[in-house]
Amino acid sequence: MAVTETTVAESCAAAKRAARALATASTEAKNAALEATARLLEERVETILEANAGDLADERAAGLTQALRDRLRLTPERVAAMAEGVRVVRDLGDPVGEELERKTLASGIDLRKVRVPLGVVAVVYEARPNVTIDCAALTIKSGNAIVLRGSSYAERSNAALAAVAREALVEAGLPEDAVLSLGGGGHEELAELATQEGLVDLLIPRGGEGLKAAIKAVATVPVMYAAAGNCHVYVHSEADPEMARRIAVNAKVQRPGVCNAAETLLIDAAVAERVAPAILSDLAAAGVELVGDERARAAAGEVEVGAASEEDWDSEYLGLKMAVAVVDSVEDAIEHVNRHGTGHSEAIVTADEAAAEEFVAGVDAAAVYVNASTRFTDGFEYGMGAEIGNSTQKLHARGPIGMRELTTFKYVGHGSGQVRE
């Protein structure tokens, strides 16, 4: 059974033992576990969907927003996409043992810097059950064990998916406790997980600012935050109007309940009256509730735009709502993004290369796009197969957290009897 009935400390200790075995496992064994995971996902799709239907029907999920219910919901297509992502990870190069540097010291010692697993990675996440498989695939391939703590309202789905990964590990001759699920316990369990010094090598909270604050208040283990995404699209004065329409609508509407969806649209004052009505009309037609500053509302034409509050500029809506502001220059756009953004993903639409370079250099974010949607900040899109989340920090990783972000390194010196004088 994937959901443990032991204490958090006991689960983390079991994961630590499994991590030691997985750290030295062959690439072939890890790849076999990943192939078995993908195959079992395809074979057990009905069982997985039945578990997911139970979660969706449970009273614990009754109060979720439509955006969160969409994140919770699994479909045959989404399960197939999980299997595809696992196989992409399988086919990627094994990061463990990768030689990063090599040199001979003055002493004659041959010194190599090689990539090694972190050990035990714990992930706390909210509605999306696919995170269970993404995390398991990435940690198996990178030689780490993982302790998963999902939401209570996704407990059945997460258990079914973790059971698949555990069975696959056993099939490949690897320790099943390399993937452990804690279910969806309360705040006490979260605090206990965040304080497992000596057992948990890295904790990754994947969720909103509330989860981030809860972890910050108690954590004594290293933490890498995969936090909120208050993302912006800036339509520069030299933007192609049709391109701006496509990108703005895609960034907001394609999947509004995810962290790389745009929450704010910035439009240059030089073109606001010309381009705002068409872009805002497209967004409104797609069901987006619009709020804006005084200049944005004046430029909106027939499109209804409510008055934005100060809180709107700092909000991650995760739904069909968007704030709109008119800015006077690239400098003003950069200043707005850096003041209100969360360092996740930002975009500029422009034909002016100098303006693009200024925006890229000036915006402080993990991902910055020129003439492309913010929706591309994703481990799968970046060729990582999957991701555990998107780090908005600068240490030790930034952007999508893939296999290499789940490793560290060690120095290995080979000598011939040298002693230091």
The predicted-structure confidence for 256-268, as pLDDT tens digits, reads as follows 988 999 999 999 9
For 200-217, the pLDDT digits (tens) are: 999 999 877 788 888 999
**What local confidence, expressed as pLDDT, does residue 409 receive?**
96
Q: How far apart are CA 281 and CA 293, in angstroms?
A: 17
For 64-98, the pLDDT digits (tens) are: 888 788 889 999 999 999 999 999 999 999 999 99
- The answer to whether 140 and 34 are in contact (CB under 8 A) is yes
Residues in contact with 98: Cβ distance below 8 Å, sequence separation at least 6, in sequence order? 114, 115
Whether the link from the prior residue into 340 is cis, omega within 30° of 0, is: no
Integer CA distances (angstroms), 190 to 124, 370, 395, in order? 8, 39, 23
The one-character DSSP state at 8 is: H
For the ranges 16-20, 92-96, 235-239, 380-384, which has the lowest average pLDDT? 380-384
Residues in contact with 177: Cβ distance below 8 Å, sequence separation at least 6, in sequence order? 14, 15, 17, 18, 145, 166
**What's the CA angle centered on 82, arms 383 and 397, to 5 degrees?**
45
For the ranges 117-131, 183-197, 280-294, 405-419, which has the lowest average pLDDT? 183-197
Of 121-130, 343-352, 390-399, where does the model show the most confidence? 343-352
Distance of CA 254 to the CA centre of its chain: 17
Structure token digits, residue 72 = 């919770």
Domains of the chain: residue spans and CATH = 8-226+388-414 (3.40.605.10), 231-376 (3.40.309.10)
User: Would you say residue 128 has pLDDT above 90?
Assistant: no
Locate all alpha helices (DSSP H) within 109-221, ordered by sequence.
130-141, 155-171, 187-193, 209-218
Q: Is 135 helix (H, G, I), strand (E, B) or coil?
A: helix
- Mean pLDDT over 15-35 rounds to 98
User: Would you say residue 420 has pLDDT above 50?
Assistant: yes
- Mean pLDDT over 107-128 rounds to 95
**What local confidence, expressed as pLDDT, does residue 185 receive?**
64
Model confidence at 1, pLDDT cuts 50, 70, 90, reads very low
289 bridge partner residues: 321
Q: Is 156 helix (H, G, I), strand (E, B) or coil?
A: helix
Nearest to 29 by CA among 138, 122, 143: 143
What's the number of CA atoms in the CB half-sphere (13 Å) around residue 77? 1
- Mean pLDDT over 369-383 rounds to 94
Model confidence at 4, pLDDT cuts 50, 70, 90, reads very low
Neighbours of 270 (CB within 10 A): 14
Structure token digits, residue 171 = 């099939």
User: Would you say residue 385 has pLDDT above 70?
Assistant: yes
- Mean pLDDT over 9-23 rounds to 97
Instruction: Kindly report the average pLDDT of the chain as a whole number.
Output: 94
**What local confidence, expressed as pLDDT, does residue 257 receive?**
83
User: Would you say residue 184 has pLDDT above 70?
Assistant: no
